[in-house]
């Protein structure tokens, strides 16, 4: 396990220990006040009971304040280490106050209050296992303090029965610690399991995000031209296929514009292929500037590009192609070496017929492009 994981486990153990002690200290008055009320009607003087109740209340109040502060600072390793040590001492003194009821004068004069007192201490001792199990010092300290007065009292009597009672008390103390150890291991195992699950979930989420990002990159790489970043030929064909049913039901047709950069070979020959690549990138940017979000542009091959225009008639298709042509011819393309090249493009357009495949319309647009080239270039033909 990593140090960070172990630290989180210890922080959660400390937090739960503080929470349990705080809740216990806040509610323990029910036990000792009820015990005092039972003893009040029997041969135990009320001033002694009041002093006994006040001693327990004082210790529980101190423990409550310490636990309340620890709940707010459980991520401070040094502060929690100090608290856990003080917690052991505090619970020992609290247990000693509880157990001192065995020394209340007159308690043994009546068997009923004596039995009630023993019963309450047994219940308190049993409850302490779950409340204090996460801090073995606190569990051992509380139960030792709780049982010590009865142990000492019986040892002082020196009878055979009293020695048997002492042995039973020691066995009970050992059983409580053994059971507390088992419960502590179970709770710590549950905490480690929960944190391991959280960490696994976070790792899976991170891996899923990485995979999603990687798939997005792969999908984008597979569908775009690496140089110009517009769609590639396959991606345009797939997009055409996805829009097939819609295209056939629309009142307006779809059209294609085939674009070819004029004298592109001369650019490569005169300025190099890097300059030619820059020209193509700039040309695509100018084409995209004239398209709508519903339109698409793809590199068909070399310096040829095909635009698919949605919901357009012949006049609108020609107008769009003319805007693209004018946008390309509008200003020289500035290369990285500060050379300015005036670039033009020839275009052929064709409407998609209801049962056309994309290649059918592209073939007609290619024929129109051929006429534009032979008609003087930098023009649109249909």
What tens digit of pLDDT does each residue of 296-337 get?
Answer: 999 998 899 999 998 898 999 999 999 999 999 999 999 988
Whether 101 and 107 have beta carbons less than 8 Å apart is answered as: yes
Which pLDDT belongs to residue 9?
Answer: 77
Q: Which of 49-63, 260-274, 361-375 has the lowest mean pLDDT?
A: 49-63
Domain assignment present for residue 285? The answer is yes
Which pLDDT belongs to residue 378?
Answer: 95
Could you identify the residue written with the tokens 């310490």? Answer: 66
Give 345: exposed, middle or buried? Use CB within 10 Å, 0-12, 13-18, 19+: buried
For residues 240 and 87, give the distance between their C-alpha atoms in angstroms, rounded to a whole number: 74
Give yes or no: residues 139 and 24 share one domain.
Answer: yes
Domain assignment present for residue 209? The answer is no
Give yes or no: residues 193 and 247 share one domain.
Answer: no
What share of the chain in percent tops pLDDT 70?
94
pLDDT band at 184 (very low <50, low <70, confident <90, very high): confident
Q: Kindly report the backbone phi and psi dihedral angles of residue 262, in degrees, each rounded to the nearest multiple of 5, phi listed first.
A: -75, 140
What share of the chain in percent tops pLDDT 90?
29
Give yes or no: residues 52 and 142 share one domain.
Answer: yes
For residues 197 and 9, give the distance between their C-alpha atoms in angstroms, rounded to a whole number: 13
Pick the last residue of a domain from 200, 222, 239: 200
Give yes or no: residues 80 and 119 share one domain.
Answer: yes
CA dihedral for 240, 243, 245, 248, sign (positive or negative): negative
Domain assignment present for residue 162? The answer is yes
Question: What's the pTM?
Answer: 0.52
pLDDT band at 246 (very low <50, low <70, confident <90, very high): low
pLDDT band at 250 (very low <50, low <70, confident <90, very high): low
Mean pLDDT of the chain: 84
Sheet of 380-381: strand order equals 231-232, 296-301, 304-309, 255-261, 345-351, 380-381
Whether the predicted pLDDT of 248 surpasses 70: no
Domain assignment present for residue 213? The answer is no
Whether the predicted pLDDT of 349 surpasses 90: yes
* Closest CA relative to residue 356, chosen from 241, 227, 221, 257: 241
Give yes or no: residues 355 and 262 share one domain.
Answer: yes
Whether the predicted pLDDT of 108 surpasses 70: no
pLDDT band at 27 (very low <50, low <70, confident <90, very high): confident
Give yes or no: residues 194 and 239 share one domain.
Answer: no
Domain assignment present for residue 218? The answer is no
Helix or strand (DSSP H, E) at 260: strand 255-261
Query: Which tops the pLDDT comparison, 352 or 321?
Result: 321
Number of domains into which the chain is organized: 2
Structure tokens at 216: 């997005």
Give yes or no: residues 350 and 247 share one domain.
Answer: yes
For residues 300 and 151, give the distance between their C-alpha atoms in angstroms, rounded to a whole number: 96
Q: Which of 11, 303, 311, 359 is catalytic?
A: 303
* Closest CA relative to residue 130, chosen from 193, 71, 180, 191: 180
Which pLDDT belongs to residue 252?
Answer: 58
Give yes or no: residues 89 and 189 share one domain.
Answer: yes
Give 150: exposed, middle or buried? Use CB within 10 Å, 0-12, 13-18, 19+: buried
Domain assignment present for residue 166? The answer is yes
Domain assignment present for residue 208? The answer is no
Give yes or no: residues 166 and 266 share one domain.
Answer: no
Output DSSP code: residue 74.
Answer: T
Domain assignment present for residue 205? The answer is no
Q: What is the CATH number of the domain that holds 313?
A: 3.30.70.270
Averaged over 94-98, what is the pLDDT? 84
Whether 345 and 378 have beta carbons less than 8 Å apart is answered as: yes
Which pLDDT belongs to residue 245?
Answer: 55
CA dihedral for 25, 27, 28, 32, sign (positive or negative): positive
Could you identify the residue written with the tokens 């200290």? Answer: 25
Q: β-strand 340-341 against 255-261: which pairing, if any?
A: unpaired
Active site residue 21: no
Give yes or no: residues 181 and 307 share one domain.
Answer: no
Residue-range definition of the domain harbouring residue 170 = 3-200
Give yes or no: residues 156 and 253 share one domain.
Answer: no
Pick the last residue of a domain from 200, 217, 246: 200
Give yes or no: residues 187 and 306 share one domain.
Answer: no
């Amino acid at each position: 396990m990593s140090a960070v994981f172990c630290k989180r486990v210890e922080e959660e153990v400390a937090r739960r220990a503080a929470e349990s002690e705080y809740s216990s200290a806040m509610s323990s008055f029910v036990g000792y006040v009820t015990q005092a009320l039972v003893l009040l009607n029997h041969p135990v003087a009320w001033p002694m009971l009041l002093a006994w109740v006040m001693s327990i209340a004082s210790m529980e109040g101190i423990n409550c304040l310490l636990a309340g502060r620890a709940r707010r600072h459980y991520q401070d390793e040094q502060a929690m280490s100090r608290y856990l040590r003080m917690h052991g001492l505090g619970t020992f003194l609290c247990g000693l106050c509880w157990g001192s009821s065995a020394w209340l004068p007159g308690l043994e004069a009546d068997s009923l209050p004596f039995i009630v007192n023993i019963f309450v201490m047994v219940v308190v001792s049993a409850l302490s296992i779950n409340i204090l199990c996460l801090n073995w010092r606190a569990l051992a300290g509380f139960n030792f303090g709780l049982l010590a007065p009865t142990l000492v009292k019986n040892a002082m009597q020196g009878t055979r029965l009293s020695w048997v009672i002492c042995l039973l008390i020691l066995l009970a103390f050992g059983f409580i610690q053994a059971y507390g150890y088992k419960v502590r291991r179970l709770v710590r195992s549950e905490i480690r399991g929960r944190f391991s699950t959280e960490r696994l979930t976070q790792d899976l989420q991170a891996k899923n995000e990485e995979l999603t990002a990687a798939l997005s990159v792969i999908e984008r790489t597979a569908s775009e031209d690496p140089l110009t970043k517009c769609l590639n030929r396959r991606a345009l064909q797939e997009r055409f296929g996805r829009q097939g049913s819609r295209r056939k039901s629309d009142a307006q047709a779809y059209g294609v514009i085939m674009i070819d950069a004029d004298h592109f070979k001369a650019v490569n020959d005169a300025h190099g292929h890097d300059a030619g690549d820059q020209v193509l990138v700039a040309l695509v940017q100018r084409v995209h500037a004239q398209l709508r979000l519903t339109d698409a542009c793809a590199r068909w091959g070399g310096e040829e590009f095909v635009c698919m225009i949605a919901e357009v008639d012949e006049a609108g298709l020609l107008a769009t192609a003319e805007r693209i042509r004018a946008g390309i011819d509008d200003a020289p393309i500035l290369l990285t070496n500060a050379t300015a090249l005036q670039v033009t493009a020839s275009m052929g357009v064709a409407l998609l017929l209801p049962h056309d495949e994309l290649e059918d319309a592209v073939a007609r647009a290619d024929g129109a492009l051929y006429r534009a080239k032979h008609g003087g270039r930098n023009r649109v033909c249909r």
